[in-house]
Structure 1
Amino acid sequence: MGRLILGDCLSVFPSIPDGSVDLIVTDPPYLVNYQDRSGRSIANDQNDDWLVPAFAQMHRVLRRDTTCVSFYGWTKVDLFFDAWRKAGFRVIGHIVFNKGYASKSRYLRYQHESAYLLAKGNPPLPAQPLPDVMPWEYSGNRLHPTQKPVGALAPLIESFSRPMDIVLDPFAGSGSTCAAAHQVGRRYVGIEIDPVYHANAVRRLDALAPKAAA
């Protein structure tokens, strides 16, 4: 039901035709040079050279009147907004995921994740709109340092696409978007630059294949 490509999304995008994708759900680097307690890091998290061209390509490959769900780094939200607007996206919603735990504590306890809902054109309204505050379960981050839970992504994919639509994640990480797309009966294309995370995602998605055949 899908493909997971090893490579830099900016190198892969030219092979994806205009208007061939029905939904994008992605968790790009937050531009914060993140490193977890075990020393794992994320490619291109220390610079924003890729940000504007990547979102321009995302806008190109999406069909008209569709959506993109993008997580973002809140300390760099100005750079993300600039990239989204330059690409031609229109902001149509903001989603907060409520964590039952703190991922970090400094001046505040960090207990939420957030994403913007972006539009290309005028997407149709969903029959039953999701709330803009949604639950979040800890993924364990076993396969990737910022691994997103499938349970948080699946409702978004179900709400903003139709069965057998193509869902793209150009920063696929551990493959959570791809796994969520598979779970709700969508096709997927994932792109991941890091060979270790790509291999983790491939094993994860391969494990889902027997369920599809059963």
Structure 2
Amino acid sequence: MLELDKIHCGDNCDLLGQLPRECIDLVVTSPPYDDLRTYGGHSWDFFGVAWQLKRVLKPGGVIVWVVADATKDGSETGSSMEQALHFKRLGLNLHDTMIYRKANYTPLTHNRYEQEWEYCFVFSAGKPRVFAPKKTPCTYAGQKTWGEPNMYKDNSGNLTRVKQTVINDDKIAGNVFTYEVGSRKTGDIAHPAMFPFALARDHIATWSNPGDLVLDPFSGSGTTAKAAKELGRRFLGFEINPEYCAIAERRIAQQVLELEAV
């Protein structure tokens, strides 16, 4: 087993191969996709990574896979959905197709509406073991539900009276998460991929418990690892670029480098 609470520098398939089966509670990651992100010329094996993630994920574990599509020759590639379907073919559930919305997206001024969101695919090995959802206030909290009590047929065809109820103070949030996106530099190195700290934090809080092991196989500047540590989880980060490994280690050790990227 690799040393925990550490960023390991190397090829993620090789590092994943060193993990035992069913040892990871949660994966939160955003891999390089299409030609939208460049990482110093490094390449990666999607099919190898997907197979290894399925192998190391515990029953009830969750993978949060943040991706988007490039537009080539006037058409979106569709690679995001192809990846999602491949994870299903491996035997994982596509538990939820969430949206990561950028409140301050960058305008590209082309002949289509501006791209302001990315997929957050939530895959699970069976039913998720943990679900501690974000909550949002109910607009009409404390009021009675609309309409008068009525008689309805239940699933068996029997008449049943539905009573008015009082609306709760809050409800489970919708599956579109909106964040401000920023770009910051640490020293002379700026990471190209915007990944808000709050996005990692919210998914870790939703799909894992304190003490669980959280993995990011595309660790970048260590945002997932930093969020996991702050929330009392164990973590593993894999990153092939030594410069990003160094940034991540400093962020995790000092917790003062507020680079909003991974």
How far apart are residue 42 of structure 1 and its match?
6.2
How far apart are residue 187 of structure 1 and its match?
0.8
How far apart are residue 139 of structure 1 and its match?
3.2
Look up the SS of the partner of 1:117 in the other structure. Answer: strand
Could you tell me which of 34, 37, 43 is aligned with 2:37?
A: 34
How far apart are residue 86 of structure 1 and its match?
3.4
Instruction: Name the Cα RMSD after superposition.
Output: 2.1
Aligned to 1:20: 23
How far apart are residue 71 of structure 1 and its match?
0.8
One-letter amino acid of the structure 2 residue matched with residue 43 of structure 1: H
Instruction: Please list every run of 5 or more consecutive structure 2 residues that lacks an aligned counterpart in the other structure.
Output: 70-76, 134-171, 257-262
Q: Superposed, which structure 2 residues align to 1:1-214 within 5 Å?
A: 2-32=5-35, 34-35=37-38, 41=40, 43-44=42-43, 50-74=45-69, 75=77, 76-105=79-108, 106=110, 107-124=112-129, 126-128=131-133, 129-142=172-185, 143-208=190-255
One-letter amino acid of the structure 1 residue matched with residue 225 of structure 2: C
Structure 1 residues 173 and 127 mapped into 2: Cα distance closer, same or farther (>3 Å)?
A: closer
One-letter amino acid of the structure 1 residue matched with residue 236 of structure 2: V
One-letter amino acid of the structure 2 residue matched with residue 133 of structure 1: V
Deviates more, 1:70-79 or 1:108-117: 70-79
Alignment partners' CA distance in 2, 1:135 and 1:32:
24
Larger Rg: 1 or 2?
A: 2
CA contact (8 A) 2:131 2:208 kept: no
Q: Which structure dedicates a bigger proportion of its chain to helix?
A: 1
CA contact (8 A) 1:22 1:161 kept: yes
Instruction: Please list every run of 5 or more consecutive structure 1 residues that lacks an aligned counterpart in the other structure.
Output: 210-214
CA contact (8 A) 2:37 2:193 kept: no
Look up the SS of the partner of 1:109 in the other structure. Answer: coil
How far apart are residue 205 of structure 1 and its match?
1.1
Alignment partners' CA distance in 2, 1:4 and 1:113:
26
What do residues 142-181 of structure 1 show as CA deviations (whole Å, max 9, x unaligned)? 3410031111110110110000100000011111111111
How far apart are residue 50 of structure 1 and its match?
0.6
Identity %: 27
Alignment partners' CA distance in 2, 1:159 and 1:42:
34
Look up the SS of the partner of 1:198 in the other structure. Answer: helix
Alignment partners' CA distance in 1, 2:118 and 2:181:
11
Deviates more, 1:97-106 or 1:22-31: 97-106
One-letter amino acid of the structure 2 residue matched with residue 28 of structure 1: P
Alignment partners' CA distance in 2, 1:131 and 1:6:
36
What TM-score do the two structures reach when normalised by structure 1?
0.85
Moved over 3 A (4+): 127-130
Alignment partners' CA distance in 2, 1:127 and 1:102:
28
Alignment partners' CA distance in 2, 1:127 and 1:197:
31
